[in-house]
């Protein structure tokens, strides 16, 4: 029986791959080949610019990336060897990405905030052949962090320090080299967090990533003359997929901001006439709050702002729509593993404000209950997905990957959600963020969405606080806007918004900022640890 199931699964999987090719979502074309063909005749046009004065034409980018590829070849790098990119948002990031791909190596990117231990872990997990980084990024000693990771690794890793477009080579200690990847079709590795706290190595093929770029390009009418603004770290999947790779896919200008500054971002978007960006909620909030002295509206050139990473309060969306009248703002749902949903221009206002939109072409989504039964529209359960832009596995963690697939090949996202009859997705929480209070599962997202609309709340996260009797209690962690609201005021507000009494938090904590990922997501596990530690210290002091 198991053999029959495996045979059916492989046949179904092959049929879907064939269908993706027939539909044109999978073309088999490499990103460097496509870029070379699209930018032909436009070699002197802008390819990439950053806020440090870096600026490259398409000819510059092609030539400099060729130098990187030649250098890797002269050092006897083998096809399929994995190279970690640990660089900030500077023009050289794009040079290195294109050079690594042209050399036949596999790029694996990380944000510069990565510490030495996590860098060592992912280097050993992937058998990385080299790390490319800078000596320093702001106050972060990226060079020393990389050296520490290299010393701790059990296999040989070379270190390449980028300095003014030159690569300074620091050969690793003579150890055994890890074998090149033998994963068929592997083109890019990105990393995402897991419940254990260790990163997972998400594998994508050239086809899965091109499917995302292609369907985004069509949905948002993007082309070679549509500059992309990217302040999200290129080391994170949002920056990689919707910034670095999307700009190469269309041979479009990429405008990079290294360190987030909303006033500078507004100027860069205006000066470079950027039309598209994708960023997390804090970026949108900061742009709304920023001062703007010019005659034209904020973000006048920007046609599309895709906002994701965490819940986007309706009040923020409404403010942004008022301040950015020329910009279509939609919630973006997606994962490093792929997927992706957005609203479209003819989406009803109610859908724009309350959902994450509809899937990109080819994306199949279902909602399952705890017994793996498909639920009808409007019912809450776990979101599962499959499609041409969904990843091909976790590197070095095949058992984990298989454990997250249904019998039909759908990937379990770990998100609680509902799907409407017309395909609109609403994310209601994360499985690992569920709060179990008195045996009742409570998803924090509806509570957070309601609290975020209170005028005295600038930011909010709802977490579970351990309690001997109830298991967990609800704790609202608030960044106040002006006067600090009381717990009683917030709970009364929640009940006026129609939330049941058991959704009302038992405690409130006030913070100045949240611990976040480089992409702006709140690190709830870290926040919970900090709040628990803080309360314990207060009890000891009392």
pLDDT tens per residue, range 117-172: 889 999 999 999 999 999 999 899 999 999 999 999 999 999 999 887 678 999 88
pTM of the model: 0.84
| Region of poorest pLDDT, from 104-113, 425-434, 496-505, 517-526 | 517-526
User: What percent of the chain has a predicted confidence (pLDDT) above 90?
Assistant: 72
Higher pLDDT, 1 or 23: 23
- Which pLDDT does position 3 carry in this prediction? 52
Helix axis angle, 262-271 to 281-289, nearest 10°: 90
- Which pLDDT does position 279 carry in this prediction? 93
65 has pLDDT over 90: yes
Structure tokens at 414: 């770990």
Strands 304-308 and 276-280, by their bridges, are parallel
| Region of poorest pLDDT, from 348-362, 371-385, 413-427, 443-457 | 443-457
- Please list, in sequence order, all residues whose beta carbon lies within 8 angstroms of the beta carbon of residue 529, skipping any fewer than 6 positions away: none
- Which pLDDT does position 102 carry in this prediction? 98
Q: Three-state DSSP class for 307?
A: strand
- Please list, in sequence order, all residues whose beta carbon lies within 8 angstroms of the beta carbon of residue 360, skipping any fewer than 6 positions away: 211, 212, 215, 216, 219, 340, 341, 342, 387, 389
Confidence of residue 298 (pLDDT cuts 50, 70, 90): very high
Confidence of residue 4 (pLDDT cuts 50, 70, 90): very low
Tell me what the mean pLDDT of segment 348-361 comes to: 95
Helix (H) or strand (E) holding 381: strand 381-386
- Which pLDDT does position 529 carry in this prediction? 87
DSSP category for residue 109: E
Tell me what the mean pLDDT of segment 7-23 comes to: 83
| Region of poorest pLDDT, from 33-47, 262-276, 368-382 | 368-382
Nearest to 205 by CA among 189, 217, 228, 219: 189
First-last CA distance in the chain: 64
What's the distance, CA 273 to chain centroid?
24
Confidence of residue 469 (pLDDT cuts 50, 70, 90): low
Tell me what the mean pLDDT of segment 1-23 comes to: 74
| CA atoms of 87 and 66, how far apart (whole Å) | 19
- Which pLDDT does position 195 carry in this prediction? 41
| CA atoms of 133 and 93, how far apart (whole Å) | 9
| Region of poorest pLDDT, from 40-54, 297-311, 379-393, 464-478 | 464-478
- Which pLDDT does position 311 carry in this prediction? 65
- Which pLDDT does position 1 carry in this prediction? 40
| CA atoms of 261 and 283, how far apart (whole Å) | 9
- Which pLDDT does position 437 carry in this prediction? 79
Around 475, how many Cα atoms within 13 Å sit in the side-chain half-sphere?
21
204 has pLDDT over 80: yes
Tell me what the mean pLDDT of segment 56-68 comes to: 97
Confidence of residue 5 (pLDDT cuts 50, 70, 90): very low
Higher pLDDT, 235 or 538: 235
The dihedral formed by the CA atoms of 222, 25, 428 and 468, expressed in degrees to the nearest 10: -120
Tell me what the mean pLDDT of segment 36-59 comes to: 97
Taking all residues of the chain, what is their mean pLDDT, rounded to a whole number? 91
| CA atoms of 264 and 417, how far apart (whole Å) | 36
- Which pLDDT does position 416 carry in this prediction? 86
DSSP category for residue 240: I
- Which pLDDT does position 2 carry in this prediction? 45
Confidence of residue 438 (pLDDT cuts 50, 70, 90): low
Tell me what the mean pLDDT of segment 173-197 comes to: 84
């Amino acid at each position: 029986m198991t053999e029959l199931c495996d045979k059916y699964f492989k046949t179904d999987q092959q049929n879907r791959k064939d269908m993706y090719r027939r539909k044109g979502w999978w073309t088999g074309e490499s990103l460097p080949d496509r870029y070379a063909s699209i930018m032909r005749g436009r070699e002197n046009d802008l390819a990439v610019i950053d806020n440090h004065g870096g600026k490259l034409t398409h000819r510059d980018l092609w030539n400099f990336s060729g130098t990187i590829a030649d250098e890797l070849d002269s050092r006897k790098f083998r096809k399929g060897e994995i190279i970690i990119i640990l660089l900030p948002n500077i023009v050289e990031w794009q040079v290195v990405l294109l050079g690594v791909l042209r050399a036949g190596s596999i790029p694996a990117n990380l944000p510069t905030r990565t510490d030495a231990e996590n860098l060592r872990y992912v280097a050993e997990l992937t058998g990385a052949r080299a790390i490319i980084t800078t000596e320093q990024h702001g106050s972060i000693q990226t060079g020393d962090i990389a050296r520490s990771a290299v010393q701790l690794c059990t296999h040989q890793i070379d270190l390449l320090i980028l300095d003014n477009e030159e690569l300074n080579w620091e050969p690793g200690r003579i150890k055994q080299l890890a074998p090149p990847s033998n994963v068929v079709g592997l083109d890019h590795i990105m990393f995402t967090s897991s419940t254990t706290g260790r990163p997972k190595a998400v594998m994508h093929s050239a086809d899965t990533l091109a499917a995302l770029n292609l369907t985004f390009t069509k949905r948002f009418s993007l082309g070679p003359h549509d500059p992309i603004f990217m302040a999200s770290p290129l080391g994170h999947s949002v920056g990689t997929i919707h910034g670095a790779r999307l700009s190469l896919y269309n041979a479009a200008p990429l405008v990079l901001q290294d360190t987030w500054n909303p006033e500078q971002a507004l100027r860069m978007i205006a000066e470079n006439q950027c039309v598209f960006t994708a960023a997390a909620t804090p970026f949108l909030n900061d742009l709304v709050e920023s001062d703007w002295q010019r005659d034209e509206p904020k973000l006048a050139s920007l046609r599309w702002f895709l906002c994701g990473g965490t819940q986007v309060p309706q009040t923020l969306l409404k403010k942004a729509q008022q301040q950015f009248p020329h910009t279509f703002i939609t919630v973006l749902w997606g994962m490093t593993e792929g997927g992706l949903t957005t609203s479209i221009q003819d989406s009803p206002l109610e859908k724009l404000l309350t959902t994450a939109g509809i899937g990109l072409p080819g994306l199949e989504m279902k909602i399952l209950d705890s017994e793996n039964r498909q639920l009808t529209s409007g019912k809450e359960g776990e979101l599962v997905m499959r499609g041409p832009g969904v990843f091909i596995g976790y590197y070095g963690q095949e058992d984990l990957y298989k454990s997250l697939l249904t019998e039909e090949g759908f990937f379990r996202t770990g998100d609680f959600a509902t799907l409407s009859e017309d395909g609109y997705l609403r994310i209601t929480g994360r499985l690992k963020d569920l709060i179990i209070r008195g045996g009742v599962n409570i998803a924090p997202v509806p509570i957070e969405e309601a609290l975020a609309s209170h005028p005295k709340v600038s930011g909010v996260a709802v977490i579970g606080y351990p309690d001997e009797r109830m298991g967990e209690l609800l704790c609202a962690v608030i960044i106040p806007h002006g006067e600090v609201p009381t717990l009683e005021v917030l709970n009364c507000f929640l009940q006026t918004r129609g939330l049941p009494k058991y959704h009302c938090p038992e405690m409130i904590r006030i913070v100045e900022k949240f611990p976040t990922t480089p992409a702006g997501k709140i690190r709830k596990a870290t926040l919970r640890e900090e709040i628990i530690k803080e309360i314990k210290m207060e009890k000891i002091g009392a």
